[in-house]
Amino acid sequence: MSPVAENRPSLAENLRAVRARIDDAARAAGRDPAEVRLLAVSKTWSADDVRALAALGQRHFAENRVQELAGKAAALAEDPAVPELHWHLVGQLQRNKVTPVARLGATVHSVDRASLVTALARAAEREQRVLDVYVQVDLGGPEGELGSRGGAAPADVPGLADAIAGAPELRLRGLMAVAPRGAEPAPAFQRLAGLATRLRADHPDATDTSAGMSGDLEAAVTAGATVVRVGTALFGTRPLTSGAEQ
Ligand SMILES: *Cc1c(COP(=O)(O)O)cnc(C)c1O
């Protein structure tokens, strides 16, 4: 184990435990565990924490703010001891912040409107990158109401997917969603699976589904998630910071 990893011995144990949860849920659903990728959500944690998890073999990391993403990615890219990492953005993205995301070649999980598709495609072209993107879909709140956790309304998904497919600089990977707060996640993830099936009728290469977090990853894997986004179960409870939602 590397010296950095030794500073956080619980990380290795947490990583093993999360991977075991994913693998168990996949097998119970009759799926191959290798189909499910673990994305480590490092928001609020330091570059050293990312370095420690990278030393344990984790390569995919996610942030929810562009500035934090760009800062950590730059710090770690400068360190020759850190292997090449792949970065993902899982939080709301403003059109005027697409450039650093494109420069990093980060995967964007939160495409929720047509103007963002245009801005991302232009930035990707400027940076000579092809960006992997997901359409974030709003699964509604406990009463089915939209607007609680971000994302496009289900009715808007086909149009957004077509716009992405029409941009050579973007590659549509699939759908992303966050389960409603205060409701059972399983029915929401089943709705997501239905939307994903419909999406693949028009876009057969959009085979990924980004769903499931520390508290509900089993339900997401059962419903077919191929990417789970886990923060707390790996790094611990996030330190409280003021400002935007964590
Ligand atoms: C913070 C966050 C996660 C990780 O949540 P945990 O409960 O800490 O695992 C996953 N997805 C998104 C979009 C997030 O913002």
CATH level 2 (architecture), domain 3-231: Alpha-Beta Barrel (3.20)
Separation CA 68–CA 62 (nearest Å):
10
Summarised one tens digit per residue, pLDDT across range 56-115 is 999 999 999 999 999 999 999 999 999 999 999 999 999 999 999 999 999 999 999 999
Summarised one tens digit per residue, pLDDT across range 24-60 is 999 999 999 999 999 999 999 999 999 999 999 999 9
What's the CA-to-centroid distance between 39 and ligand 1, angstroms?
A: 10
Summarised one tens digit per residue, pLDDT across range 211-244 is 999 999 999 999 999 999 999 999 999 877 644 4
The percent of residues above 70 in pLDDT, for the chain, comes to 93
92 lines ligand 1 (CB under 6 A): no
CA-nearest residue for atom 13, ligand 1, is 90
Please state the length of the chain: 246
**Structural domain boundaries in the chain:** 3-231
Q: What is the reported pLDDT for 7? A: 60
Q: What is the reported pLDDT for 197? A: 98
> What single-letter DSSP state applies at residue 137?
B
178 lines ligand 1 (CB under 6 A): yes
What's the CA-to-centroid distance between 218 and ligand 1, angstroms?
A: 14
* Cβ neighbourhood burial of 191 (10 Å; 0-12, 13-18, 19+): middle
